[in-house]
Structure 1
Amino acid sequence: MLDGKSALVTGAGSGIGRATALAFAREGAWVAAADLTLEAAQRTVAAIEAKGGQAVAIAVDVTDDAAVQAMVAAAVSAFGGLDCAFNNAGIAPHQVNAGGVLMADMPEAAWLRLLEVNLTGVWRCLRHEVAQMRQQGGGAIVNTASVAGLVGLPGAAGYVAGKHGVVGLTKAAAVDHAKENIRINAVCPGYIETPMTEESKRRRGDAITARTALGRFGVPEEIAEAVVWLCSDRASFVTGSNWTVDGGYSAL
């Protein structure tokens, strides 16, 4: 689906990002795998190359605008352009010591950190990716929102607010840049088996699966398939949408 295209993935070192980087390569794309930890990105690149694909590893902190700009420039330098981007880097409440904390009890520092990474980080990536794509005459971008961008979740106010913001940002950006042939969509994963959800699974895994129509957590590859399709020409009339891949969690 992506033969001859170049793709950039943030948060590519593990979980959904890693699975999507591998899926992009499987479908013929050259992949720039970016992660906060360069070693994690390099492991993803090694997995791609082991299967005959082409990839480069990039270290990036999405809270640093200069680093995000340099990331996009490095991807363009490696592959001559940027056709697809998956803005997936994010953090969970437990990573800022706010897992299960009620909204009124959340420290301001935790709130600000969640928004800085999960929402403003996506905006930074979008800004620099769109700047490159408008020079080329188009491209396709997918942002990672969440089922938390569609419904409220207990003890996760900062995460929920940020992911709702990603849903709104995706719609606004898609409208702003449609005439430049840039499609922008979001994917809304439910509970997926990744390092980020280990804490949620430990604390309330049974309650989560009981509420999920399919009765299980998803796997990263199930999100990757949706992202790859949204970035492909097969989705040429899809923009400003939020694709829910949650096993029916938000349907109950």
Structure 2
Amino acid sequence: MVFKKLKARFGGGTTVDTAVHTPVTQPGGFLDGVVEIVGGDVEQRIKYLALRLEVEVEVERDDREHRSTTSFAEQRVADRFELHPGERRSVPFRFEVPLQSPFNVVHGRDLPGVRLGLRTELDIAGSLDRGDLDPVRVEPIPPQQRLLAAFEQAGCHFLRADVEQGHIPGAQFGFYQEIEFAPPRDLRGLKEVEVSFLAGPHAIDVLIQGDRRGGFLDAGGDRVARLTIPYDQLDRHDWASEMRGHLGELARRRGLFG
């Protein structure tokens, strides 16, 4: 009897399988799916079932970089219930994706540097059991798609994307996504162009940095342009020319235009 109680506390053979039915979503959208639970060989008291949206973040410490998985959204999908031996229980869910979530799909292609997923968490009598990270696909919202296209039309070429630890004023989380471009060829000396988005309910902030040295958190603020663009203005402006102008200004500030 003691053995069975210990076994129940540490899982008791219970299996959990989370299936995400949404092929691709967007920040501010939803992930629909179901959690399938099969009871083990003993009666178990489940305190709650939750899902966490997680992202792999680059962390720099003591001049070294490593990657760490960070949870940035959580949703309980079931509260207390008894799970009988061998019982099968299906728990459907609709998980809301935060508006400032990173994205990892552009034009249907996965961004290898941005890993996003849902992790299932089951509390069995006070003992937490966390499952593996189930990959999810998130594409940019239309304003982000429009502005990414504007950078390409301005002569930039996509290089890579990642998610870095740190806080930008106005950011919801302690990390930010960077989209890195090669600059237009005539902006000699401008090594890279880095773009971050901070989406809000009515407008989007675009941060543009014109050099890899330093970062958005660096003291050299003159190297960063920050624009606030209301969503209702996106269709009323030539954003390719606008971005081209900001890149030229960033280059001139460092004496790099030529």
Give the structure-1-normalised TM-score.
Answer: 0.22
| Structure with larger Rg | 2
Give the structure-2-normalised TM-score.
Answer: 0.22
Greater share of helix:
1
